[in-house]
């Protein structure tokens, strides 16, 4: 596992890779905000996806997974927010199929190349009349409107755009995601989309996506709840004209680093914009017995309500951190755990260190808080991201009415 | 597993069983509230305990477990709040031993018959001077003062007192507990003490305690965090003079029901007084494939932040409940799940039912909310208790300073 850090890829202003178009509009699913959109490639793109492990997988998630798994190709996606089309039974499934057919006709492509993605309230049926009326209003733009059309309680869209070279060909990779509450991914989280004009085989893209989701999207948590609609889809349409990426080549490494960087940045943007969040919390676990332990401990710490509330209160309450570590089944040498917050050592060998509380408290006012834990038990790392637990989290979720 | 319901035991006004004495006083560990106490039997009592599975088990928990496991006998316990004596290294262990010796001398009994229990802040050493000065001030009373001396953020003590007959002998069983935050027991929770004048062998008592803790204390959660100091200790001194309880007898059943009832009531009192809680939440899972699944699903639901916040908002948000069920690995027939709140059906066969939202919302204003889930997948039950997630939870934990 690689810690998420900057790679040699170059961040650039938002733009779509060559051959990708999209749109986002308001059709009345939400009061006034954008709630409906699409994203497509001019040609069929190599496609890969990861999907929620929630047993109540929503109809759109099930359908898109089915399409991608046929032969790892996809050309277009229809997106909406406000209604998740989850726990909607046979009618929900038929509605997802209807959406697929409608977009296939609009793009004049085979329905098997179309996926759908919905997010929002569980248990309600899609207002198909609004969607039917909305479809003709979608036009192929190069704007970022679609990144707004999937938001729920998010305060802003999550976007990343990078460029890099593969065998002398300039490649663009653009990702966007939504997600604010009900975030505790298993295998993947929320809605995430990565588009690139790189040329790569679909099966290889699937392997790379699955590997990179494990230590990015799967390592964020906002509230410990796993949604029924989670999915991350990656499309590569080959417009960059690079020789198709092969394993064990420099191009593979560059592309993999870029994908990991884009997914990692989107995951952190989601955690930072968690419901009610005022701070992004990053936990780095060092010298774990193995990666599983490191990841488990890091995620447990950023997921602890008590740790999250203490960080909201700018309180260096390391007792809650060490208690959270001990509550896991990770291999721990209970007499040799070190803890630091924002680079200031609080605990060495599991015992309190004298520290400048005022200085630590002050540093906890920053929008990003970093917790470093050293388990002195091996050489593996773990890393996870979350946010603080605030009054607004409670407010948002006590009043997000059915 | 038996659902916690009333048994044939008789609830009575608070009193200690014959031969038990205790006291609770203020010695300066807290600003002004009682913070120090003891509990003892005039004669050595059969003793049983269950303890936290947190890897950072606190010194007092470790010492008391050691004493009880020698031969399941104990006569006295020294208790304090404010300082947990957890993550305190060698000095913390020596301090626990010192406390044990001091109380043994005061009661003129062998130190091996003395246990200690601490709760409060992790990482700080016990102020031994205050404790040394406090000991002589403890006197053998029959008051309930000790039930106050173990409180932290609790708003009130948790107490249960019942009486029942064993072979014609009147038996009293009195339990008390503390716990408000950092409550997500594994094997046992917080500090809980049950005293009885029944006559019973220590090993048998241990078996009965362990069994009954599984579906009582182990099924409550306030915030998903597991403390380092959890323990439940039961003492039986035989003063009731009943023929010692034997397995497979009517007396065994009556005593076991009483123990289950007392532990269950204490557990529910802890959940109802969870940090910031305004409501007790009970989840009953019916027709699960097996008891493990039933217990897992019930505990997941009462533990979900989104469900807890919705209940605080008096919002019958069943989507969060079904999503929580699906996020577990329990055997679920995804098309046949029923959900009801306070007896009103919201979901049948995993689909929304029309329901009187105003009526459900009104019922959610009650101090106890009951969520019933039917998995239609077997014949096992599950039951768990928690509380709502409120602004006060965040306030308490953002300002409970180190």
CB proximity A316 to B under 8 Å: yes
ipTM exceeding 0.85, yes/no: no
CB proximity A352 to B under 8 Å: yes
Q: What are the pLDDT digits (tens) for A69-82?
A: 999 999 999 999 99
Walk along chain B (402 residues) in steps of 10 and give the mean pLDDT of each run: 60 95 97 96 94 87 95 96 92 98 98 95 93 98 96 89 94 89 53 93 94 87 72 93 95 93 90 89 96 94 92 92 91 94 95 93 94 96 93 82 52
Helices B318-327, B291-303: axis angle to 10 degrees equals 130
User: Of chain B residues 364-383, which have a CB less than 8 A from chain A?
Assistant: none
- Record the tokens describing residue B290, joined without a space: 């097996």
- Contact present, A266 and A192 (Cβ < 8 Å): yes
CB proximity list for B90: less than 8 A, separation 6 or greater: none
Cβ distance of B181 and A306 shorter than 8 Å: yes
| Pick among B58, B324, B326 to test the A interface (most A CBs inside 10 A) | B326
Q: Are strands B344-348 and B338-341 parallel, antiparallel or unpaired?
A: antiparallel
- Contact present, B165 and B254 (Cβ < 8 Å): yes
Q: Which of B291, B294, B319 is nearest to B304 (CA)?
A: B319
* A182 interaction partners in chain B (CB closer than 8 Å): 306, 320, 323
Cβ distance of A327 and B393 shorter than 8 Å: no
CB proximity B357 to A under 8 Å: yes
Cβ distance of B397 and A306 shorter than 8 Å: yes
**Which residue in chain B is spatially nearest to A396 when comparing CA positions?**
B309
Q: Does domain A280-398 have CATH number 3.10.20.340?
A: yes
Catalytic residue flag (residue A119): no
Which of A323, A328, A389 lies closest to B122 in CB terms? A323
Which residues are paired to B384 by β-bridges? B283
Query: H-type helices in B232-334, by residue range?
Result: 250-272, 291-303, 305-312, 318-327
Q: Which helix (H) or strand (E) holds B164?
A: strand B158-166
Q: Is A178 annotated as a binding residue?
A: yes
Length of chain B: 402
Tell me phi and psi for residue B40, to 5 degrees: -150, 160
Torsion of CA B147, B152, B155, B158, to 10 degrees: -30
- Please report, for chain A, the start and end positions of each structural domain, with discontinuous segments joined by +: 10-270, 280-398
Q: For tokens 């679920």, what's the residue?
A: B332
Cβ distance of A319 and B223 shorter than 8 Å: no
| Pick among B309, B310, B373 to test the A interface (most A CBs inside 10 A) | B309
Q: Which of B354, B343, B344, B346 is nearest to B322 (CA)?
A: B346
For the cut 60, the answer to whether the pLDDT of residue A190 exceeds it is yes
Report the sign of the C-alpha dihedral through residues A100, A106, A109, A114, in that order.
Answer: negative
Catalytic residue among A189, A226, A234, A390: A189
> What distance in Å separates the CA atoms of residue B185 and residue B208, rounded to the nearest whole number?
18
| Pick among B185, B319, B354 to test the A interface (most A CBs inside 10 A) | B319
For the cut 80, the answer to whether the pLDDT of residue A181 exceeds it is no
pLDDT at B397: 83
* B391 interaction partners in chain A (CB closer than 8 Å): 391, 394-395
Q: Is A296 annotated as a binding residue?
A: no
B/e letters for A363-395, b = 16+ CB within 10 Å, e = fewer, are bbeeeebebbbbbebeebbbbbbbbbbbbbbbb
User: Of chain B residues 54-73, which have a CB less than 8 A from chain A?
Assistant: 54-57
CB proximity list for B385: less than 8 A, separation 6 or greater: B219, B220, B221, B267, B268, B271, B272, B280, B281, B282, B283, B302
* Average pLDDT over every residue of A371-387: 95
CB proximity A227 to B under 8 Å: yes
Cβ distance of A225 and B55 shorter than 8 Å: no
pLDDT at A182: 61
CB neighbours of residue B5 within 10 Å: 10
Q: Which of B233, B137, B159, B129 is nearest to B11 (CA)?
A: B159
CB proximity B180 to A under 8 Å: no
Catalytic residue among B174, B189, B228, B234: B189
* Average pLDDT over every residue of A259-273: 90
CB neighbours of residue A43 within 10 Å: 12
> What distance in Å separates the CA atoms of residue B202 and residue A233, rounded to the nearest whole number?
60
CB proximity B348 to A under 8 Å: no
- Contact present, B291 and B380 (Cβ < 8 Å): yes
> What distance in Å separates the CA atoms of residue B91 and residue A308, rounded to the nearest whole number?
30
- Record the tokens describing residue B180, joined without a space: 């408000």
- Contact present, A187 and A213 (Cβ < 8 Å): yes
Which of A84, A304, A326 lies closest to B54 in CB terms? A326
Supply the pTM of this predicted model: 0.83
Q: Which of A32, A64, A27 is nearest to A48 (CA)?
A: A64
* B401 interaction partners in chain A (CB closer than 8 Å): 313, 315, 317
> What distance in Å separates the CA atoms of residue A237 and residue A241, rounded to the nearest whole number?
9
How close is the nearest chain A Cα to the Cα of B225, in Å? Answer: 7
- Contact present, B384 and B185 (Cβ < 8 Å): no
Confidence label for A282 from pLDDT (cuts 50, 70 and 90): very high
* B320 interaction partners in chain A (CB closer than 8 Å): 122, 182, 225
**Which residue in chain B is spatially nearest to A53 when comparing CA positions?**
B327
How close is the nearest chain B Cα to the Cα of A201, in Å? Answer: 32
pLDDT at B229: 79
Comparing A60-64, A127-131, A273-277, B21-25, the range with the smallest average pLDDT is: A273-277
How close is the nearest chain A Cα to the Cα of B87, in Å? Answer: 6
What is the rounded end-to-end Cα distance, in angstroms, of chain A? 40
- Record the tokens describing residue B43, joined without a space: 């004669």
> What distance in Å separates the CA atoms of residue B233 and residue B39, rounded to the nearest whole number?
11
* B183 interaction partners in chain A (CB closer than 8 Å): none
Q: Are strands B280-288 and B368-374 parallel, antiparallel or unpaired?
A: parallel
* A84 interaction partners in chain B (CB closer than 8 Å): 319
Instruction: Give residue A320's Cα distance to chain centre.
Output: 27
pLDDT at A217: 85
Q: What are the pLDDT digits (tens) for A10-57?
A: 999 999 999 999 999 999 999 999 999 999 999 999 999 988 888 888
Cα separations (Å) of B63 from B60, B70, B99, B106, B195? 5, 11, 11, 19, 20
Cβ distance of A323 and B357 shorter than 8 Å: no
> What distance in Å separates the CA atoms of residue B133 and residue B138, rounded to the nearest whole number?
10
Q: What are the pLDDT digits (tens) for A284-297?
A: 999 999 999 999 99
Q: Domain B10-270 falls in which CATH fold?
A: 3.60.70
- Contact present, B34 and B24 (Cβ < 8 Å): yes
- Contact present, B118 and B64 (Cβ < 8 Å): no
Q: For tokens 């069994």, what's the residue?
A: B211
CB proximity A397 to B under 8 Å: yes
Q: Is A275 annotated as a binding residue?
A: yes
Rg (CA), chain B: 21
Coil/strand/helix, residue B226 = coil
Cβ distance of B327 and A122 shorter than 8 Å: no
CB proximity A400 to B under 8 Å: yes
Q: For tokens 């010194």, what's the residue?
A: B59
CB proximity A319 to B under 8 Å: yes
pLDDT at A184: 59
Q: What are the pLDDT digits (tens) for A92-122?
A: 999 999 999 999 999 999 999 999 999 988 8
Q: Is B397 annotated as a binding residue?
A: yes
What value does the mean pLDDT of chain A take? 91
* A312 interaction partners in chain B (CB closer than 8 Å): 394, 398
Cβ distance of B325 and A55 shorter than 8 Å: yes
> What distance in Å separates the CA atoms of residue B198 and residue B237, rounded to the nearest whole number?
6
């Amino acid at each position: 596992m690689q810690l998420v850090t900057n790679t040699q890829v170059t961040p650039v202003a938002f733009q779509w890779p060559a051959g990708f178009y999209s749109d986002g509009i308001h059709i009345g699913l939400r009061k006034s905000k954008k709630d409906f959109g699409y994203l497509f490639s001019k040609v069929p793109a190599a496609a890969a996806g990861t999907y929620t492990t929630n047993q109540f997988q929503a109809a759109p998630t099930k359908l898109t997974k089915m399409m991608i798994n046929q032969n790892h190709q996809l050309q277009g996606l229809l997106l909406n927010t406000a209604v998740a089309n989850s726990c909607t039974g046979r009618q929900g499934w038929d509605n997802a199929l209807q959406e697929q057919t409608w977009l296939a006709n609009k793009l004049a492509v085979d329905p098997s190349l179309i996926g759908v993605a919905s997010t929002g309230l569980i248990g309600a049926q899609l207002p198909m009349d609004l969607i039917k009326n909305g479809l003709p209003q979608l036009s192929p733009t190069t704007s970022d409107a679609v990144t707004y059309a999937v938001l729920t309680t998010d305060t802003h869209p999550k976007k990343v755009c990078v460029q890099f070279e593969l065998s002398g060909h300039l490649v663009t990779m653009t990702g966007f995601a939504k997600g604010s509450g009900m975030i505790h991914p298993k295998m993947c989280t929320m809605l995430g989309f990565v588009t690139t004009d790189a040329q790569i085989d679909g099966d290889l893209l699937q392997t790379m996506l699955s590997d990179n989701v494990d230590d990015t999207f799967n390592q964020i948590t906002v509230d410990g709840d796993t949604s029924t609609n989670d999915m991350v889809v990656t499309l590569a349409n080959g417009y960059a004209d690079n020789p198709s990426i092969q394993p064990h080549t420099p191009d593979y490494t560059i592309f993999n680093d870029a994908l990991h960087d884009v997914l990692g940045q989107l995951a952190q943007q989601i955690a930072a914009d968690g419901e009610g969040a005022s701070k992004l919390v990053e936990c780095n676990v060092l010298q774990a017995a193995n990666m599983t332990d490191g990841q488990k401990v890091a995620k447990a710490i950023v997921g602890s309500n008590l740790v999250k509330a203490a960080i909201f209160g700018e309180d260096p309450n390391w007792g809650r951190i060490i208690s959270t570590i001990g509550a896991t089944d990770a291999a721990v040498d209970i007499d040799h755990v070190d803890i630091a917050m924002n680079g200031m050592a609080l605990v060495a060998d599991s015992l309190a260190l004298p520290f400048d509380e005022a200085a630590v408290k002050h540093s906890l006012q920053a929008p990003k808080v970093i917790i470093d834990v050293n388990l002195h038990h091996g050489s593996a790392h773990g890393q996870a991201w979350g946010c603080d637990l605030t009054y607004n989290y409670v407010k948002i979720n006590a009043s997000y009415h059915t």
